[in-house]
Amino acid sequence: MAETVQKRITDIGPPHYEKFLPPIIKENYGKWKYHEIPRPGVIVHTSETGAKLYTVRAASPRLLSTTKIRKFAELAEKYSDGYLRFTSRHNVEFLLSDPAKIDPLIQELEAIGHPVGGTGNAISSMVHTQGWIHCHSSATDASGVVKSVMDELIDYFKTMKLPAKIRLALACCLNMCGAVHCSDIAILGIHTRPPKVNHELLPKVCEIPNVVASCPTAAIRPSTFQGKPSVEVDEEKCMYCANCYTVCPAMPLNNAETDGISIWVGGKVSNARSEPMFSKLAVPYLPNNPPRWPEVVQTVKKIVEVWAANAHKHERVGEWIERIGWPKFFKLTGIEFTKQHIDDFKHAGLTYKTSVHLTY
């Protein structure tokens, strides 16, 4: 690595994107006229100039070995003149100018275990996070849950028979790096017990005022433990957000027995038809059950299928529920409605039903 020490380069930013655009895109940049989706996973964009770009989209686990990256590079050279991209949901897209190459590319992708699909009214890849692979904060794994759910729902990835797009996402703790707060169906790792204060470590590694300030419910009070300054937690007030742990390693919440998963539904991001919406609580708690989290998989599947069977065309999950009403949602899915579904945070009062617009 001799050359690298020579002169130190900083603040150059990423390479300019133009370097990576295929000629057909450079020529038709901003000139695209319309698109079609002739089959799942294949999007054809037609330009004012008449030029056509064929995109083939394949599933990706997002966690890729350099081996696989080289494999993608090889496929790109073979089929799309070396050009490819990744999507905001982490799928890989090959950008073809020659339609003849679509079929062989798809065959090869399927052969190496990367199914093609995720377009149109389908389930696309799940936005997700690190989980046990890399994060200290996780209440569950990310990749394993995603793999288990998508194995079960693969048919909806490879076809376009759903009423609308349905976006699934997972975050392994309340920090919600997966931004699951606006997903049709969100899987959220949760702690269900207050932090266990490590009184030995705390004064050494944490600023007590910051720790106290970090708690949204004011559950943390300064205290002393065996003469040394520390904090104590009013467990009745704690709702396990782990914000204290984020600012102070001496307050771990991770708990093998009681960590688990909650399921959220009805969020969306697009402005299509309805305004963007937050996801709402559907199932407060399901156990962590690796390697395949059957309870989570079955719950998600059930929601997808009830929605698919009942929604009008183009109705996202949240739009469907708004039309039929939440009581119907719980009835149709068989999910139990509990006290925990009733908001009790800052704006709780605004979630109460202030009309007689009910269905019976």
Partner 1 sequence: MAEQMKKYETPLLNELEKGPWPSFVKEIKAAAEWNQMANDLLGLLERSYREKIGHWKHGGIVGVMGYGGGVIGRYTNLPEEFPNVSHFHTMRINQPAGWFYTAEALRTLADIWDRHGSGLTNFHGSTGDIIFLGTRTEELEPTFAELTQAGFDLGGSGSDIRTPSCCCGMARCEWACYDTMKLTYFLTQHYQDEIHRPAFPYKFKFKCSGCPNDCVAAIARADFSIIGTWRDEIQIDQEMVREYAKNGVDINKEIVMMCPGRCIEWDGEELKIDNSSCRHCMHCINVMPKALAPGKDRGACILLGAKAPIVEGAILSSVIVPFVKLDTEESFNDIVELIDAILEPWIEEGKNRERVGEFIQRVGLGNFLEAIGLDPQPEMIRHPRTNPYVFYENYLEEE
Q: Which of residues 260-319 bind ligand SRM (CB under 6 A)?
A: 268-270, 272, 316
Least distance CB 182 / partner 1 (angstroms): 4
Looking at residue 192, the DSSP 8-state letter turns out to be -
Least distance CB 84 / partner 1 (angstroms): 6
Figure out which of the listed residues 13, 15, 271, 309 binds a second copy, where binding follows CB under 8 A. Answer: 271
* 355 is an interface residue for a second copy by CB under 8 A: yes
Name the H helices within 220-315. Answer: 243-247, 294-310
Question: Is 43 strand, coil or helix?
Answer: strand
* 47 is an interface residue for ligand SF4 by CB under 6 A: no
* 28 is an interface residue for ligand SF4 by CB under 6 A: no
**Sign of the C-alpha dihedral computed for residues 311, 313, 316 and 319 taken in this order:** negative
Q: Which of residues 315-334 bind ligand SRM (CB under 6 A)?
A: 316
Residue 233: count of CB within 10 angstroms of its CB? 19
State the Cα torsion 180-110-37-53 to the nearest 10°: 110
Q: Which of residues 235-294 bind ligand SF4 (CB under 6 A)?
A: 238-244
**Which positions ≥6 away from 193 have C-beta within 8 Å?**
240, 253, 255, 258
Figure out which of the listed residues 88, 226, 354, 355 binds ligand SRM, where binding follows CB under 6 A. Answer: 88
Cis before 249? omega within 30: no
Stretch that binds a second copy, among 120-128, 269-277, 314-322, 331-339 (CB under 8 A): 269-277
* 53 is an interface residue for partner 1 by CB under 8 A: yes
Least distance CB 185 / ligand SRM (angstroms): 11
- Here's the x/- map for partner 1, 125-164, by CB under 8 A: it reads as --xxx-xxxxxxxx--x-xx-xxx-xx--x--x-------
**Residue with token string 């102070």:** 248
101/97 Cα distance (integer angstroms): 9
Q: Give the residues lining the site for a second copy (CB under 8 A).
A: 271, 275-276, 347, 350, 354-357
